[in-house]
A and B are shown apart, each in its own frame.
Chain A
Amino acid sequence: VEALITGIGMTELTKEASSGPVALAAQAMNEALRDAGRTHEEIDGLLVHIGSPRGQDYDRFAESLGLSVAFASQTWSHGRFMSTVLTYAALAVTNGLANNVACIAAYRNSSFPRIGEPGNPFFHEVMREGGGPHGEQGGLGMLAPSGGAAMAWRRYASLYTADEKALEAVAISQRSCAVLNPRAALRTPLSTTDYGASPYVVEPLRRFDSSLPVDGAACVIVSRSPASEGSTPVRIAGFQGLKGGSERFIFGPTGLGLWNQSDSRPTIEEARRQSAFQMAGISPSDIDTFYTYDAFTPCVLFALEEFGFTGPGEASDYVIAEGLARNGRPWVNTNGGLLSEGHFNGWGHIHEMVLQVRGKAGARQIPGAQVAAWGALAGDALVVSTA
């Protein structure tokens, strides 16, 4: 694969954006094109993550943003597809479907009732035959994704005698990053007192174990080659798709015994063998900074195990002992994650990954970072590195 991220742009993430998705996307795209040294006329591919009604669909975006593209597509209208969208873009430029693909996520959550409440655009999924994509069961009152996440944490905590202190450490570590991130929605430091005082939403998970839905836009330009001068491309070095099957649960690790999962967790050696890592020619120890889909705090612990940073059942003790820090500096979800930067479905994470590899992450910068990796419980992964 020969694909570069040549430009990134992102609005601030807020609770009540003063614009709708198209105008938000226009701002993010203008910034991304300036960053790439490209023009709107050079964009010949368009990939959209979140469609209408939270966001907009590819046809409206293309027309309203004044684009003329020959390769367009769109994924479903909520999370989990960020790295898959970038993978499509990388494959498209590698195989000659397009030269410069604009990947867009832009939406306004505050136009709608909250997630888990009737009237939210994807509430219908609680009535999906066989159950919703996060373990929802409408007929039983399992209405919100937090229900499935709470199921996974209770099971894990019971199997490994894990302590809530691990969740607290994740929440506090990620908030400490968001405090340093001007794009983040939550920039007030979080204390252990704040965490302990936060109410249960779906017990055993608290409000501060849950991410914050926000409004905003992000644009990532994926190109076959960089513009002549002025831009700082990063390489898409490896990727793997979402995994499916009875072992997968969006908010839990494989083999936890939930739904139709087995009770057999992968060993750390198995977890370290990820095709995205192999494609990039790296092992987990080469990863300078790691990013994951942290819709809820336990997801971070599970992802550390799922991608071979710790053995099964060990992440909670690791995080209690060391936080999410190496040499005293946070190295996981350094943007603040969905938890504290705001739930932007991973687009804030990829923006941060590019900044880190460019050495432009400001106060959050990990000195000398060359390899940033995304790995999510859905099974997908993406590695970016210096070009």
Chain B
Amino acid sequence: MKFDPTISPDSAPFWRGAKEGKLLLPTCDSGHALRQWMPPLGVCPQCRSTDIGWRETEPRGTVVSWVVYRRAFAPEFPPPYTVALVRLLRAQTTIPVFVEPSDGVPIEVGSNVQIAFRRLAGDEFMPVGNVITRD
């Protein structure tokens, strides 16, 4: 992957979780209800604590929006490909995912998505979403 995100010690656990196929989110419960959020940058946006932990969340959510890249911007990503923003089922935040080519279930705003991590060349992982049948 040519366009890896910058990773600091604050976001590294997310990518370590990805390697094990787990959706790990930064987690804080110091003095307020349990909160999990993205992107992980080492601070709880609610209480500003930097003493945060990491917990797995259910890798499912619903599509907030989605787009299809039709023009090539870089050879590493030949079009067309789809990216969706997914609101997680059990965390108060969203995660963008690369949408796997569908087996016939069309993507819509509100579609249910199962999130996994696809291994790329080298030791890199990418969050991918698969649209599942609407409940």
Chain A contact residues, CB within 8 Å of chain B:
116-118, 126-131, 135, 137-144, 147, 150-152, 154-155, 158-159, 199-204, 246, 257-260
Contact = CB atoms under 8 A, between A and B. Distances in A.
B65 A152 contact: yes
Contacts of A200: 68, 70-71
B2 to A, nearest CB: 7
B1 interface: yes
A202 B70 contact: yes
Interface string B94-135: 101110000000001110000000000000101100000000
A154 B66 contact: yes
Contacts of B41: 129-130
25 contacts: A116-B73, A126-B3, A127-B4, A128-B6, A129-B8, A130-B41, A139-B1, A139-B3, A139-B4, A139-B124, A140-B97, A140-B126, A141-B74, A141-B76, A142-B67, A143-B73, A143-B77, A150-B67, A158-B65, A159-B109, A199-B70, A202-B68, A258-B64, A258-B85, A260-B37
Nearest to B87: A257
**Which secondary structure dominates where chain B touches chain A?**
loop
Contacts of B39: 129-131
Contacts of B81: 141
B57 interface: no
Nearest to A159: B109
Interface string B68-86: 1111011011001101010
Interface in B45-75: 45, 64-71, 73-74
Contacts of B5: 127-131, 137-139
A147 B81 CA distance: 11
Given A140-B97, A147-B83, A201 B70 contact: yes
Nearest to B126: A139
B4 A203 contact: no
Contact of A130 (B11, B74, B127): B11
Given A147-B69, A259-B94, A155 B83 contact: no
Contacts of A130: 5, 11, 39-41
B69 A141 contact: yes
Contact of B70 (A127, A128, A203): A203
A201 B98 CA distance: 17
Interface residues of B, number: 44
B49 to A, nearest CB: 17
Contacts of A135: 96
A258 B45 CA distance: 17
B11 A151 contact: no
Contact of A202 (B69, B76, B126, B127): B69
A326 to B, nearest CB: 32
Given A154-B65, A201-B71, 10 more contacts: A117-B73, A128-B6, A131-B5, A143-B77, A150-B67, A155-B65, A159-B109, A203-B68, A203-B80, A257-B64
Nearest to B41: A130
Interface in B1-31: 1-8, 10-11
A15 B71 CA distance: 20
B6 A147 contact: no
Determine which residue in A130, A131, A152 has the highest number of CB atoms from chain B within 10 A of its CB, and name it.
Answer: A130
A129 B40 CA distance: 9
A135 B95 CA distance: 11
Contacts of B74: 117-118, 141, 143
Contacts of A150: 67
A143 B68 CA distance: 12
A151 B6 contact: no
Contacts of A128: 5-6
A141 B98 contact: yes
A257 B86 CA distance: 11
Interface hub of A141, A151, A152, A201 (most chain B Cβ within 10 A): A141
Nearest to A148: B67
Contact of B64 (A127, A138, A155, A202): A155
